[in-house]
Amino acid sequence: TSVTSAKVAVNGVQLHYQQTGEGDHAILLLPGMLGSGETDFGPQLKNLNKKLFTVVAWDPRGYGHSRPPDRDFPADFFERDAKDAVDLMKALKFQKVSLLGWSDGGITALIAAAKYPSYIHKMVIWGANAYVTDKDSMIYEGIRDVSKWSERTRKPLEALYGCDYFARTCEKWVDGIRQFQHLPDGNICRHLLPQVQCPTLVVHGEKDPLVPQFHADFIHEHVKGSWLHLMPEGKHNLHLRFANEFNKLAEDFLQ
């Protein structure tokens, strides 16, 4: 039941990950903006079924303990994360994996599933979006200044990063995600959705203040054969706030 953590060299970077469980079915947990395994997936690392699953939570480059390097946001940062994630799991000798992707991690998961279809078994994503609208852009601007965040959300990230790196990287993230707004249709990965072949569950919290429901509907509509599950009381962090319900939902889908 213990959680181990280690680093492994992938694509020129030392990527940090946590691992638990001894099941045959490998799952990779993909965190959101500024996220890491420890800050984003506590209840999943603790409580997902360790007999059925081997659970890995990774810190994308520049996030969590996968530093250095400092995080940056080139135009292809999601594609880079998708390749890093897949190459990490291959470096850890997993033959095939399922993905649980939250927020930015959901976008990364969609891209990974589209680009490496033979490697991805199943996928659960929540709080993700395939494109950026003007409305989204306004929402992102609203979180640019971390001093306006609630203390509960802010404190763990300040402890992980230090106040300066946290504040600076959040601003860089807002600029990074807003660059998609200027592309045709605000495209991040909408062109890749028809290429997703694995069974996919899209979960959406109906009270999510950061990602409007039209994003979940769009992904559900364009990933063929996908399922959409709505959680009426869920916000953006539905997997933390309603951890037991979410974990059961994910386990049932992945089996």
How far from 96 is each of 6, 89, 163, CA to CA, in Å?
20, 8, 38
**DSSP 3-state of 18:** strand
- One of 25, 215, 236, 239 is an active-site residue; which one? 236
- One of 40, 103, 215, 226 is an active-site residue; which one? 103
208 is catalytic: yes
236 is catalytic: yes
Alpha helices in the chain (DSSP H): 37-40, 42-47, 77-91, 104-115, 134-142, 151-161, 163-178, 213-222, 238-241, 243-254
Q: Which DSSP symbol is given to 186?
A: G
16 is catalytic: no
Q: How many CB atoms lie within 10 A of CB 164?
A: 9
The half-sphere exposure of 161 on its side-chain side, counting CA atoms within 13 A, is 26
Virtual torsion, Cα 38, 44, 48, 52, nearest 10 deg: -60
Q: Are 202 and 227 in contact (CB under 8 A)?
A: yes
- One of 208, 215, 226, 239 is an active-site residue; which one? 208
Catalytic residue ranges = 103, 208, 236
